[in-house]
Chain A
Amino acid sequence: MKPKEEKILLSHGNGGLMMHDLIDNLFIKHFGNKILEEQTDSAILPIESREVAFTTDSFVIDPLFFPGGNIGKLAVCGTVNDLAVSGAEPRYLSVSFIIEEGFPMHDLEAIVKSLAEEARNAQVTIVTGDTKVVNKGKCDKLFINTSGIGIVRKADNLVGKAQNIEPGDVIIINGTIGDHGMAVMNARESFNFKSAIISDCASLNHLIRDVLDQTQGVKFMRDPTRGGVATVLNELAGKINLGIEISETALPVSTGVKAMCEILGFEPLHIANEGKVLIVADQDAGGQILEIMKKNKLGLQSAIIGRVTGDHPRKVVLKTETGGRRIIDSLTGDPLPRIC
């Protein structure tokens, strides 16, 4: 069965029959699992670990659909990746929708389907959720919040904390940077760039699990989302009181992203990613980690992009393709296009 109405009405959020129609014929239909089907006020979760990771994220992207994904897929990947880079194995998600009155039902269904598909792909279970409908104009089409719980093994509970990092450690990324930010901007603005830049939006938990299971020496992981690689590396350099040096020639950037950044005056290192993980690892383990990452389809273009150094503490320095060196700062404000 499908929900009866073609557009979301205020009654879909009022707790009555219409809301149950939406829950049964859309959410349960696609997310369905034993825990969710109980429809209790709280989900009761079996957990086999003493330590759990818990995270939350809200998704307010414009446009809702973009090349490579949509807000539903993103809402899963974002939270799954936050858990995975903390060394946790993502297990359970909550999903809450805030929907603007009048939102087309078929768009909601497409988003819910894609959310369910990505959850299956990442092997996480959606166990609880909520729906609110607000008056037209009170929110921008659709907002989604997801929270996630993952289990943590003792051996992995430090990878988010950047301990024991020392000069010589290598910095690895699993592929090209800036794809998500540029794909979304290209879809949102009327540039009409013909190049098909596709968001890298993906759940990284399997790739990260392979690395953690098969190697030792990972000291830190983070997903460089908003603010890009530059912002994560700057935060890290500040935290460990060491310098970071990256090499422009080693940095994977797709031609489309490079060209769009050139035209608009952006720095790819500042552009958002949604399917990338930065790993800092012992230099002896670097080669093996790279090999494992390259076996995963989300890591084919993995590369060692730089090193931790005792020089220039707290600063990130880029060795440019022409042989110069320059400091890379965190992103300040929104990236704005330059006039010329």
Chain B
Amino acid sequence: MRYTDEYRKKELILAIAEELKKISKKTITLMEVCGGHTMAIHRFGLHSLLPPTIRLLSGPGCPVCVSSQHFLDTAIAYSKIPGAIITTYGDLVRVPGSVSSLEKEKANGEDIRIIYSVLEALEIAKNNPGSAVFFLGIGFETTAPATAAAIVEAKTENINNFFVLSAHKVMPPVMKALVDEGVKIDGFIAPGHVSAITGTAIYNDLALEYGLGVVVSGFEPVDMMQAILMLALQLESGTPKVEIQYKRIVNPEGNKIAQGLLTQVFEQKDDRWRGLGIICNSGLKIRKDFAAFDAEKQYPITVPEPSDPKGCICGSILRGLKTPNDCGLFATTCTPSDPVGACMVSGEGTCATFYKYRS
């Protein structure tokens, strides 16, 4: 298949692995921030190709995993409003809230619909003028512009029954928070799709102030191996900087139209992250101009403060401090068919990835 086969060539991967072995002298720790990267590393068995000097940590970049229990409890509360239709991306439906999940509420008769694009939610709102249609907005700078576009369209078309519950998040603050907390990281493999939107300037602080390497990477095995090689070269020569490996998609300026939509509709807020607590300026809330589409403004609901499930170490896993193998629940009481923590629920979660690709 074009555009994937070229980037999965065994000979190319092995050649990069060989080069890495040659140049890698210092012991370094790299964090792959994105869940998609964690998937690729395990799916293609890249760990086994790295020299012992290079250690990879999985970061907090799976949007489903970092969505707080509080967010799910709120979504479930919305589903119980008479006439409400909840629209959501598929992998959120099995995530456990405090006592239930959207999947269970669907079986109880609540109207919960899986969609593939936020524009479908808008269509559903148009076709069901008598219902309040809620869209569960999760994801980083990658998915947030689509949500923003839908909100702008709803305003243009005067759709008055479309509401977004925003748990959208931005990437850089959590990366800085992890380093500030003392997690030992020398460089980041940064998510390519985020930078396709934002460009690369968002990481300049990490390189200039924190002295960390950042390479924006694609998601195929050749991409990831090359990104690791680029980081290793930076760190060996003591010149950490922001570089782009994923040049076929990312340019330094990013997508100006998407950036415009983001600032038009959203502003930054302090936000909750599952397992990490509240991180300053790490979330996106809907601006006042678009309050008519803000679920929290139009249907204010308070749900009780949830507590983390007993024995679950998702928080430490999302910080890169522990791996799923350190968890007493992993692959025993916590499995993809009966998940305890969020890292097991999403296909991109670190625990689910470790489970799926264990050997």
Q: Do A and B make up one complex?
A: yes
Q: Enumerate chain A interface residues (CB-CB to B < 8 A).
A: 189-191, 255, 258-259, 262, 265, 317, 320-327, 329, 332-333, 336-340
Q: Quick one: which of B48, B64, B337 contacts A339, CB cutoff 8 A?
A: B64
Residues of A within 8 A of B346 (CB): 338
B42 interfacial by beta-carbon distance below 8 Å = yes
B256 shortest CB reach to chain A, Å: 21
B243 interfacial by beta-carbon distance below 8 Å = no
| Interchain CB contact under 8 A, A338 and B348 | yes
A246 shortest CB reach to chain B, Å: 14
Residue total for B at the interface (Cβ-Cβ under 8 A)? 41
Most buried by B among A189, A190, A326, A338: A338
A281 shortest CB reach to chain B, Å: 27
Which stretch (B71-79, B138-146, B267-275, B277-285) binds chain A? Answer: B138-146
A340 with B337: in contact, given A258-B1, A320-B44, A326-B42 (CB under 8 Å)? no
Q: Provide the bound-state CA to CA distance between A325 and B193, in Å.
A: 27
| Interchain CB contact under 8 A, A324 and B44 | yes
Q: Bits for B208-221, please: 1 = Cβ < 8 Å to A, else 0.
A: 00000000000001
A97 shortest CB reach to chain B, Å: 27
A333 with B337: in contact, given A324-B44, A338-B347 (CB under 8 Å)? yes
| Interchain CB contact under 8 A, B358 and A320 | no
B274 shortest CB reach to chain A, Å: 15
B236 interfacial by beta-carbon distance below 8 Å = no
Q: Bits for B329-359, please: 1 = Cβ < 8 Å to A, else 0.
A: 0000001110000000011100000011111
Q: Provide the bound-state CA to CA distance between A111 and B117, in Å.
A: 32
B324 interfacial by beta-carbon distance below 8 Å = no
Q: Please, could you name 24 A-B residue pairs with CB atoms under 8 Å apart, sorted by A?
A: A189-B116, A190-B120, A191-B116, A255-B1, A258-B1, A262-B1, A320-B43, A320-B45, A322-B10, A322-B13, A322-B44, A323-B10, A323-B13, A323-B14, A324-B43, A325-B359, A326-B357, A333-B336, A333-B337, A336-B90, A336-B93, A336-B114, A340-B143, A340-B193
A311 shortest CB reach to chain B, Å: 11
Most buried by B among A259, A262, A322, A325: A322
B81 shortest CB reach to chain A, Å: 23
Q: Provide the bound-state CA to CA distance between A191 and B94, in Å.
A: 23
Q: Quick one: which of B42, B91, B139 contacts A337, CB cutoff 8 A?
A: B91
Q: Provide the bound-state CA to CA distance between A265 and B46, in Å.
A: 19
B290 interfacial by beta-carbon distance below 8 Å = no
Residues of A within 8 A of B347 (CB): 265, 336, 338
| Interchain CB contact under 8 A, A337 and B90 | yes
Residues of A within 8 A of B13 (CB): 322-323
A312 closest partner in B (C-beta): B359
B159 shortest CB reach to chain A, Å: 18
B18 shortest CB reach to chain A, Å: 14
Q: Provide the bound-state CA to CA distance between A243 and B353, in Å.
A: 21
Residues of A within 8 A of B357 (CB): 326-327
Residues of B within 8 A of A324 (CB): 43-46, 48
Q: Provide the bound-state CA to CA distance between A338 and B346, in Å.
A: 8
| Interchain CB contact under 8 A, A327 and B359 | yes
Q: Quick one: which of A262, A326, A329, A339 contacts B4, CB cutoff 8 A?
A: A262
Closest 4 CB pairs of A and B: A324-B45, A336-B90, A339-B89, A332-B337
Residues of B within 8 A of A255 (CB): 1
Q: Quick one: which of A189, A317, A322 contacts B359, CB cutoff 8 A?
A: A317
Residues of A within 8 A of B96 (CB): none
Residues of A within 8 A of B335 (CB): 332
A259 with B1: in contact, given A322-B45, A336-B94 (CB under 8 Å)? yes
Residues of A within 8 A of B36 (CB): 340
B199 interfacial by beta-carbon distance below 8 Å = no
Query: Given contacts A336-B114, A337-B114, could you give 6 more A-B pairs where the C-beta distance is less than 8 Å?
Result: A322-B8, A325-B359, A336-B91, A338-B91, A339-B92, A339-B143
B315 interfacial by beta-carbon distance below 8 Å = no
Residues of A within 8 A of B46 (CB): 324
| Interchain CB contact under 8 A, B116 and A337 | yes
| Interchain CB contact under 8 A, B336 and A332 | yes
B63 interfacial by beta-carbon distance below 8 Å = yes
B141 shortest CB reach to chain A, Å: 11
A323 with B45: in contact, given A191-B116, A332-B336, A336-B90 (CB under 8 Å)? yes
